[in-house]
Structure 1
Amino acid sequence: MLSLRDVTAIPEYGLAPQGPDPAIAADREVHRALILSGSQWMGPDISQALIVSDAGELQAVDRLLGALAVGRAAALVLADFPGGDAVTWIRDAATRHRFPLLTSTRPLSAWRSGLARRVADLAADRARRHAATLGDLIAQLDTADPVGGVTRALAQALRAEVVLRGPEGIVTATPPTAPLTLASVMQRPDRPLQTTPTGLFAGTVPVGADHVLIVATDEPLGRADRNLTGHAATTLAFALAPHHREADTASVTTAVRGIRLSAFQLLMTGNATHAQRVLAGIAPGLLDVETTRVFIVDCARADREAVMADVERRLDRNALAVRCPAFHQHIIIVAPQHPEHDSEGELRSLRQTFGSSGVTVGGSPVHPLAGIGQAYGEAADALARAAHHPERTVISATRTPTLVDVLPAVPAHTWAEAFLRPILATSRSGSQILESTALAVEFRTSAAARVIGVHRNTVARRVNQVCAAVGLDPDRTLDRIILSLAIQIVSSLPQPPAPPAPHSPEADVSLHDVLTHQQVRIWADQMLRPLADDRRDLVRTLRTWVLAEFNADAAAAHLGIATKTVRSHIRAAEPLLRRDLITGLPQDRDEEDDDQRLSGLRPLTIALYATTAPGAPYPALTHRPRGGS
């Protein structure tokens, strides 16, 4: 993959780091370059992009850098830089946001006419070569000299000197003179990073129990190349033990799993093209489609490995199945749409095999390949409903109507646009920022981070920045409900053809106005109706629990009953509402026991808000009105 370090090393771009510490950002991936100037904006997607501008044209620099950081841009590049202290104020802002700032001696016109396009071409070429090399490493296992083949492929890919050293001495080396060049490194193979007397940057990676792989390059390896070296070490461990194939198959299997999971996480973060390239080495053509669906299998009491084996047997090479990195009983399946293969039918029949173990299946409708994130959310919602479905399977052929669909479209969109304006107005990447935040607020931070393959601190920072911009507390469940609702409205409801004029009565719409609209009240009555006949007055318990901001102890104290009774009432309401509130979620995580997905709490909270009696307190959402009248 192309990194900032790679780009700054290319003389053609005339780039120089300005701040903060260049070492912090050297490994950042670069996928393309986008122009930010005058009438030409940078576009809706800025992830892994160099944002190139002229210092004289920048406005609201602090806000811009904040938006670039939230949108995961690679760096801000100031074109035609004259030198000196002309951009001290921009450098200071970049340091505050810990966001990379580069200067370029080339003018903006040169970036617009060809340099920006060449960045994208170079990134695509690097991604293709990286994916091809991953496949090459595994392919060497079927050659006459797998150990030599792997080291030669790695040396060629990294332009490196490579030595594999074992307990009896050197096993293989590329080029043949590498042992002489790396003699000083081989004396201290326990040191992971070293510099040779000739100035090469060398790294050592253990291979099995008694071998070490040494790789030396002219420049320090970036993250992608370190990842490639790790996969090479795993492949070599397998190649070195042909007589213990059964035991060592796990090593190569782990490498393949890592590649498949990386491809899925690239899809989840909107990088469909890179996912195709990464997967090309082990499953050529699998993702070369326009549309796909996502299914999630909850293995419940069944062994996940047994279910996974059955999923792989049924779907063969027609789908991308991965073990969920966040929920340890889940299997996620990306099923490209092929007319000759029925993934849905195969997964429905999976229930016949594991039905006694409580296995459930949830599936999304068809989405474009670039819309995997939304498809995953819909599959997760379907899975939550499946736990209360007689067949324990909910697979939606078309998009299931949601709470957003019953909201009054024009008032709801007007409120959501106004509420999210601090994000939407910072740059045209606002919609992309909100999309990437949606999954993060739906789950707790660590779960979302593991699903999309981003460090939890990065996810937390992104959510905190968005919440700060709109005045919410990211740790407060009711605030997360409001943020997720607003994001769903702007992404799902069509924008009114004629937005209300500023300062007009129609433009001054509050959340209270939206949630107390007549059609919302009708929907809320229908949703809560299944609870009406229960003699335990479940609605009263649920309302008190929501008013206590989902604190069962506080609700129990208010009602004068035991906390255990409150929890039993909530669990009794779940099958009646066909929604998970506190149960049905994986508990094998380092999260609070009461960690809930918002997909169940959001409609319940809105339904209770809409049906609040005159004079009674409303659930404490953002505007916190005192009560109805």
Structure 2
Amino acid sequence: MSTLKLAISVPDVRLRFVEDPPAAQMERPSAGVYVLAPAHLPERDKTRHQIVIVQPDDPRLTDGRHLTDLMSLLVAGQATGVALALRDGTEVADEVRREAHRHGVPLLAIGPEPAKWMCLHRALTDDHHSRMQRTAELHSQLIEQLRHLGRTEGTQRIVSWLASVSDAEVTLTTARGTIAAAAPASAATATVLARERIAELAAAGRGRSAALDLADGRQMRLFTVGSTTPAPVLAVTCQSFCVEVSAALARVLDLLAARLALEEAERRHSRLQSGEHVVREAVFSLLMAGQVNAAKSAAVGLDPGTLDAGIARTFILKVPPPQRPAIVQQCHDEIGTKAVITACPTYPDRIVILVPSTIGDIEATTLSKLVTHTHTAPGRFLGGSALHTLDETPTAYQDAARALTVAERLPGRVHCYVTEIQLAYVLDQQHAGTWATHLLRPLHELPASRREPLLATLRLGLVFPPAATARMLGTHRNTAARRMAEAAALLGVDLQDVWQRALVGLALQVRAETAHLQSDADTPAVTDILDTPEVRRWAHQFLGRLDTDRRPLRETLTAWIRAKTRIEDTAQLVGLNPATVRIHLRSAEELLQRRLLTNTASTTPEGYVVPGAHDLVLAFFVVEGTTLRPACQEVLSGSR
């Protein structure tokens, strides 16, 4: 098992002893990291051979009685040591030093960054896993007759082999119960007779054994296996223990110890992989929420430098939901850690792959592998975005989602977003920036602690349904809904109205591009900033794609907008069957690279406005002068 000597040598983690340690402490076993929450007691079965990280402001470190109790619990739980998460220059209190020394608990210090804790945990777990693998390989070579038993059912095969060569009844009992047995009925009976002795040996730990004479003349020998406590106990019952049986036992005890340790290492490795999946999802969620620095800090635990490029391309791989976990791991194994690969927290059938564009040829390699994945099986589709900076990740995700909409209509099932000029980029920056600043001022005047959550929720809430927004932000759906309602009230808009929703989305995009400009004294109306030759050219080009289809797509779309994106109401307005309306919308999706239909009616909450309609609303207003509802006039005029 790994030791503290290895732990303090892990690069860039800066784990160190507070004082020069005795030599014995350097050799204390260390299997990983356990972070102690201030409001919780350490769980004894989880602190064994763990470096327990404690925050320096934990009240138990300043209260003498609680400090003593904490140290006692760590000793009882066989913790490797306690590490205080200290910033540079912070001193450890004398009382903490004395209590750690009195209890014989190694006292260490580590930086306050959680990413470094994860790096340390991963290094220890990987080293432990590597050691166990080498041990298992060595025993497989030494015991040639058992080399074919390295399968999933290896423990049972070893026990069965021992029973066959020694003509004995054999059981292996762990804290989880009897996990392997040969001649189960009679072996289990004998084990019941010795259960008290088995429990004593298990509690005593490694290197213990016992011999019992049974009433029927047979002998039972008990052996602890491995070095864990409580220890697994091997029970062997036979008529006599000859030299051959004893030799077989000596080999099997070592092999079983290695096999059980390897299984435990594999379970730990599986838990580490699960933790990495959580971190990757957190990195993506932080980027979607606009917290780029926090995302970079979290990504250090995956692979340092992953997000240093600052520019990335986003892909969305759509797969059947039951296949997603396996494909996520497969993509991670093939592409590596330089790309952020995660299950989309919003949609159960999407995998998000964020690929930095300046790290070697990873972008081309990733695209090639993703295309291969897509073509491997039916029901898979791939959409890719244009290049975007990390703070534009929400836009990149929308690009990839739009490309995915097109890919679902193509025979090849792969499409990369065709870069188009966004409306926000053709507006007069000075006038549009003044309008957007005026519209969003009630939010920007709030304290940062209140403003940032509202803005992050509003940006995503204009693109995703409420439940999806909550999952993307890692918060409760009621919290996301409350923030959306609060933002709408502050702005004085109705976010369930497609026109006002489109205008708020435009204002957020304009504000992001023009925040550095000084606002004009007079606030223009949105009708004025949309009444320019550049905007009209953009609108004609955007809607002109619809003219390549012979069907009256424009008429259907304008009716669909007037009907608040409701299919049945649209069908009545244009005199078509609802199925025909859906066909028109699907055709428009491919031409405009916009999602206009949700997958099923059950996925669309009441009052949710499809975000693909936002650009349509503004383009039709510019080109056709669509009459707006009276409730929108104040927003359009820029007045309050």
- Shorter-chain-normalised TM-score: which range? 0.5 to 0.7
- Structure 1 window deviating more from structure 2 (603-612 vs 408-417): it is 408-417
Q: Does 1:607 align with 2:604?
A: no
Which of 474, 477, 482 in structure 2 is aligned with 1:461? 482
Cα 1:123–1:601 shift into 2, 3 Å:
farther
Gaps of 5+ in 1: 14-30, 33-121, 147-163, 177-209, 212-237, 502-506
2:508 match: secondary structure: helix
Map 1:81-480; keep pairs closer than 5 Å.
125=112, 127-128=114-115, 130-132=117-119, 134-135=121-122, 138-139=125-126, 141-142=128-129, 242=262, 253-272=273-292, 274-276=294-296, 278-281=298-301, 283-287=302-306, 289-300=308-319, 303-305=323-325, 307-308=327-328, 311-348=331-368, 350-355=370-375, 357=378, 359-368=381-390, 372-384=393-405, 386-387=407-408, 393=414, 395=416, 400-427=420-447, 430=451, 433-480=454-501
- Structure 1 window deviating more from structure 2 (487-496 vs 527-536): it is 527-536
Which of 556, 562, 577 in structure 1 is aligned with 2:577? 562
Deviation of 1:562 after TM superposition, in Å, equals 2.9
- For the residues of structure 2 that align with 1:3 and 1:477, how far apart are their CA atoms? 45
2:312 match: secondary structure: strand
Deviation of 1:431 after TM superposition, in Å, equals 6.8
Deviation of 1:289 after TM superposition, in Å, equals 1.8
- For the residues of structure 1 that align with 2:330 and 2:364, how far apart are their CA atoms? 14
Deviation of 1:299 after TM superposition, in Å, equals 2.4
> Which digits, 9 at most, give the CA deviation of each residue in 1:243-288, with x for residues without a partner?
599899755543332233234334444555554554545x342536
Deviation of 1:366 after TM superposition, in Å, equals 4.2
- For the residues of structure 1 that align with 2:557 and 2:121, how far apart are their CA atoms? 52
- Structure 1 window deviating more from structure 2 (440-449 vs 370-379): it is 370-379
- For the residues of structure 1 that align with 2:121 and 2:455, how far apart are their CA atoms? 33
1:611 match: secondary structure: helix
Cα 1:127–1:255 shift into 2, 3 Å:
closer
For the pair shown, the structure with the greater C-alpha radius of gyration is 2
Q: Does 1:578 align with 2:593?
A: yes
- For the residues of structure 2 that align with 1:307 and 1:469, how far apart are their CA atoms? 43
Deviation of 1:308 after TM superposition, in Å, equals 3.5
TM-score of the pair, normalised by structure 2 = 0.56
Deviation of 1:383 after TM superposition, in Å, equals 3.9
Native 8 Å contact 1:582 1:595 kept in 2: no
Deviation of 1:343 after TM superposition, in Å, equals 1.9
Deviation of 1:413 after TM superposition, in Å, equals 1.6
- For the residues of structure 1 that align with 2:629 and 2:535, how far apart are their CA atoms? 16
Cα 1:567–1:389 shift into 2, 3 Å:
closer
> Which digits, 9 at most, give the CA deviation of each residue in 1:169-225, with x for residues without a partner?
69999xx9xxxxxxxxxxxxxxxxxxxxxxxxxxxxxxxxx99xxxxxxxxxxxxxx
Which of 534, 538, 553 in structure 1 is aligned with 2:568? 553
Deviation of 1:418 after TM superposition, in Å, equals 0.8
Q: Which one scores higher on RCO, CA 8 angstroms, separation ≥ 6?
A: 1
The one-letter code matched in structure 2 to 1:571 is R
- For the residues of structure 2 that align with 1:435 and 1:512, how far apart are their CA atoms? 27
- For the residues of structure 2 that align with 1:483 and 1:277, how far apart are their CA atoms? 31
The one-letter code matched in structure 2 to 1:293 is A
Gaps of 5+ in 2: 1-34, 40-54, 63-84, 87-108, 134-173, 178-197, 207-229, 232-257
Deviation of 1:443 after TM superposition, in Å, equals 0.5
The one-letter code matched in structure 1 to 2:574 is L
The one-letter code matched in structure 1 to 2:617 is T
- For the residues of structure 2 that align with 1:239 and 1:269, how far apart are their CA atoms? 45
Cα 1:354–1:621 shift into 2, 3 Å:
farther
Deviation of 1:324 after TM superposition, in Å, equals 1.1
Cα 1:124–1:245 shift into 2, 3 Å:
closer
The one-letter code matched in structure 2 to 1:541 is T
The one-letter code matched in structure 2 to 1:486 is A
> Which digits, 9 at most, give the CA deviation of each residue in 1:72-109, with x for residues without a partner?
xxxxxxxxxxxxxxxxxxxxxxxxxxxxxxxxxxxxxx
Deviation of 1:326 after TM superposition, in Å, equals 1.6
2:314 match: secondary structure: strand
- What percent of counterpart residues are identical? 24
2:125 match: secondary structure: helix
- For the residues of structure 1 that align with 2:408 and 2:382, how far apart are their CA atoms? 6
Deviation of 1:606 after TM superposition, in Å, equals 0.8
The one-letter code matched in structure 2 to 1:142 is H
